Structure 1
């Protein structure tokens, strides 16, 4: 199901600033107030994983592209872009449906390992790293 919500050029530019230029640690996106497009909500230059986890609102759906640093099984430093789909259970059904149906367009525009989360426990660093390691094999 397509929502008809467009990904703005600003989103594409922000994604590039994380991926290519490493200008930001993460960028957060949301659906605009008029429900017609996905826009940039925040750009953060420096952040710990814990600060990133805490940045998601309890009452709203978001997407975020995060420049994830980790060690592989051999102990080597690695880096991977992840796309976090944040959709808390507490938001209204209409907002959940809009977020879900808009995610496909964003995933095409902002590729990365997708992490779905509805609460902060699902953003456990070790579990996210394990998912990345599984997809990197």
Structure 2
């Protein structure tokens, strides 16, 4: 599975400049490559991000999660989310699962990985617990 250059460029912008809150990636099966489907401005929320993920299709996503530690320090973690809802086609799930590690290696700087099959597996509480 090829990775479109835009995927890496957008990720670098998120990582270095905090240009985006999230990026949603899609596998374009005919072209056999991962492309950028959607980006969210830095002022977008976790709810906006969750709303971008389709109910019955797989996606990869990156989310820049900001939080305050118990010591009152402002921090941020870059999450990689492998979204694979139960209602997605089996073929699609297999393609996303088999391409995930290679795609993730292209995005240097991911700090936390989440595998989610329904929205409850990536709600804000999950991000909070995994960020520390």
For residues 57-96 of structure 1, what are the structure 2 equivalents within 5 Å? 57-96=54-93
Offset at residue 28 of structure 1 (A): 0.8
With the length of structure 2 as denominator, give the TM-score of the two structures: 0.91
Offset at residue 86 of structure 1 (A): 0.5
Q: Which runs of 5+ in 2 are unaligned?
A: none
Query: Per-residue displacement from partner, 1:51-97 (whole Å, max 9, x unpaired)?
Result: 11121101211111111101223232211111111010101111000
Q: Paired residues, what number?
A: 129
The answer to whether the aligner puts 1:127 opposite 2:123 as a matched pair is no
What do you get for the CA RMSD once the two structures are aligned? 1.3
Q: Which sits farther off after the overlay, 46-55 or 14-23?
A: 46-55
Q: 1:27 is matched with which residue?
A: 23
Q: Which runs of 5+ in 1 are unaligned?
A: none
With the length of structure 1 as denominator, give the TM-score of the two structures: 0.88
